[in-house]
Amino acid sequence: MIGILALQGAFIEHKYILDNLSVESFEIRKLSDLNKKMSGVILPGGESTTIGKLLLDLNMFIPLQDKIKNGLPSFGTCAGAILLAKYVEDGTPSLATMDIKIKRNAYGRQLGSFFTKDKFDDEIIPMSFIRAPLITEVVAGNILATVNDDIVAVKQNNQLVTTFHPELKTDFVHKYFLNTIVQR
Amino acid sequence: MEDRVELNRNLAQMLKGGVIMDVTTPEQAKIAQNAGACAVMALERIPADIRAAGGVSRMSDPLMIKEIQNAVTIPVMAKVRIGHITEARILEAIEIDYIDESEVLSPADDVYHIDKTKYSVPFVCGAKDLGEALRRIVEGASMIRTKGEPGTGDVVQAVRHMRAIMAEIRRLTSMSKDELYNAAKLMQVPYNLVVNVAQNGKLPVVNFAAGGVATPADAALMMELGAEGVFVGSGIFKSGNPEQRAAAIVKAVTNYKDYNILANVSEGLGEAMVGINENEIQLIMSERGK
């Protein structure tokens, strides 16, 4: 059972991918949802300031942070990656559970959004970058994908982040998350 | 260009479940961002004031929009007049994240909407019914919103438009092929687009509510009726306590079905915008651009 943080953003897209993989999931919208049994959590794309603010306002911040720190398998895409990063350039970190440094809107505004195909764990997959952030430093963890030398996917123990949106085009990264982190 | 269309629709997907707020200054933009807005709409005058001022209302000063772009990290949208090809090019030149081809401003063209397929930046357009929504999508809109009746604080028209769009979509899903041909004819849109909507039971782009949303309950109501997010214009900065009201509306959209949370965030918000009844207004903005 995977919990999908559903405070704001493209969370339903993750549910569709999991549905197709016959993996059960539920939406996390409030504190009581965090008490449900889950084997992993997905932090979706959206606006990181919005999601971060709602985590605080709905008293979900500390409980979620504790779960991730205690080893809950966690997968963040785009805004989700910003939420997990310990260091945010020109900004305040949110959950700060992962030893990476990240830069918001690193490719500029919407005109800088782009689509490409590149290698993730030895497989060429489609990658949509929407006002994407950039991982500027990996203090600890493994780089899983780069695009033109830009770091776009990192795994550190129980945590996986991508700066692109695999949920829009492919189930490959979800399968990777389920196989290598959730069912480890 | 094929990628661009999809990337632009994708940005709207990232805004889902969020609140887009009208702001007129960098300070208001920061307040909106801190309150949890997923994007801001930069404009010189909010619709309630446009209504009060009368006259011709146009695209905002690019300098003012740039100042707002520099004040926040969330996406910044801005409005152009219906059919104003050049205002849209100007906003594209300053790298706006989304253009709202909006009936709130005075229309520049009373026949043609902008051919939005020619632009790299995305467009959102208003609609009162499914036909309007699909015509705008054919023209290249990558996001739709209800028109509602902006600047009134009266939600009745947004409700009417959202109900119309959702009901018409539901009707399409049960139609036979010959009925779909006729539906396409009546709505003046391509048959393939109608089939796409009938098969998926939803628009091919994200659909937000807009126009007259003033309270957390209004915003939650629109989500209940099928909106994927909410625009709030005059409702926030025309109210007694903008910061608190903005944050309350954000929470209401996320938990629109949790009535304890809705009761909680609706408490002690102070004066809502006064509002004008739809029967009391002279200018029906939603009749602009069909």
User: pLDDT digits over B73-128, tens only?
Assistant: 999 999 999 999 999 999 999 999 999 999 999 999 999 999 999 999 999 999 99
Residue B1 has a pLDDT of: 62
Catalytic residue among B79, B128, B147, B251: B79
Give the type of residue at A130. Answer: I
Q: How far is CA B18 from CA A89, B36, B129, B235, in A?
A: 24, 8, 22, 16
Residues of A in contact with B39 (CB under 8 A): 47
pLDDT, average across residues A170-182: 98
Render pLDDT for B14-48 as a digit per residue (tens, 0 to 9).
Answer: 999 999 999 999 999 999 999 999 999 999 888 88
The secondary structure of residue B256, as a DSSP letter, is T
B54: pLDDT strictly greater than 90: no
B-chain CB neighbours of A29 within 8 Å are 254-255, 258
Size of interface A-B (CB pairs under 8 A): 122
- Cβ distance of B95 and A108 shorter than 8 Å: yes
Q: Is B2 a residue whose pLDDT tops 80?
A: no
Beta partners for residue B21, in sequence order: B40, B232
B3 touches chain A (CB under 8 A): yes
Query: Hey, how many other C-beta atoms are within 10 angstroms of the C-beta on B284?
Result: 12
Task: Give the tens place of pLDDT for each residue, B198-240.
Answer: 999 999 999 999 999 999 999 999 999 999 999 998 889 888 8
Interface touch A46/B120, C-beta < 8 Å: no
User: Residue A161 above 80 pLDDT?
Assistant: yes
**B14 — contact with chain A (CB < 8 Å)?**
yes
A78/B14 CB distance under 8 A: yes
Res B276 pLDDT > 80: no
Tens-place pLDDT, residues B147-169: 998 888 899 999 999 999 999 99
Residue B255: the pLDDT is 97
Q: Does pLDDT of A184 surpass 70?
A: no
pLDDT of B69 > 90? The answer is: yes
Strand partners, A126: A117
Chain B residues lying within 8 Å of A45, measured CB to CB: 13-14
Band (pLDDT 50/70/90 cuts) for residue B290 is confident
Helices (H), B26-102: 26-35, 47-53, 62-71, 85-93
Structure tokens at B256: 């629109």
Single out the residue of B165, B168, B117, B167 nearest to residue B139, CA to CA: B117
- A76 to chain B, closest Cα gap in Å: 14
Decide if pLDDT at A54 tops 80: yes
Sequence-distant (≥ 6) Cβ neighbours of residue A94 within 8 angstroms: A48, A51, A52, A55, A61, A82, A83, A84, A85, A88
Q: Exposed e or buried b for every residue in B144-169, given b needs 16+ CB within 10 A?
A: bbbbbbbbbbbbebbbbbbebbbebb
**Which chain A residues have a beta carbon less than 8 Å from that of B36?**
8, 49-50, 53-54, 57
B244 has pLDDT over 90: yes
- The pLDDT, as a whole number, for residue B157 is 95
Q: How many residues does chain A have?
A: 184
Confidence band for A124, pLDDT divided at 50, 70 and 90: very high
Average pLDDT over residues A117-123: 95
B15 touches chain A (CB under 8 A): yes
Q: How far apart are CA A90 and CA A92, in angstroms?
A: 7
- What is the pTM assigned to this prediction? 0.96
Q: For residue B170, name the pLDDT band (cuts at 50, 70, 90).
A: very high
If pLDDT is split at 50, 70 and 90, which confidence band does B275 have? confident
Helix B85-93 vs helix B62-71: crossing angle, to nearest 10: 40
Q: Cα–Cα distance between B136 and B146 in angstroms, integer?
A: 12
Q: Phi and psi (nearest 5°) for B208?
A: -105, 165
Residue A128's H or E segment, with its range, is strand A123-129
Which of B274 and A35 is assigned the larger pLDDT? Answer: A35
Counting Cβ atoms within 10 Å, is residue A173 exposed (0-12), middle (13-18) or buried (19+)?
buried
Mean pLDDT for the stretch of residues B181-199: 98
Asked if B97 lies within 8 A of A108 by C-beta distance, the reply is no
Backbone angles phi, psi at B46, to 5 degrees: -70, 155
pLDDT at residue number B48: 85
Tell me the pLDDT of chain B averaged across its residues. 94
Catalytic status, residue B79: yes
- The H-or-E segment that residue A118 falls in is strand A114-120
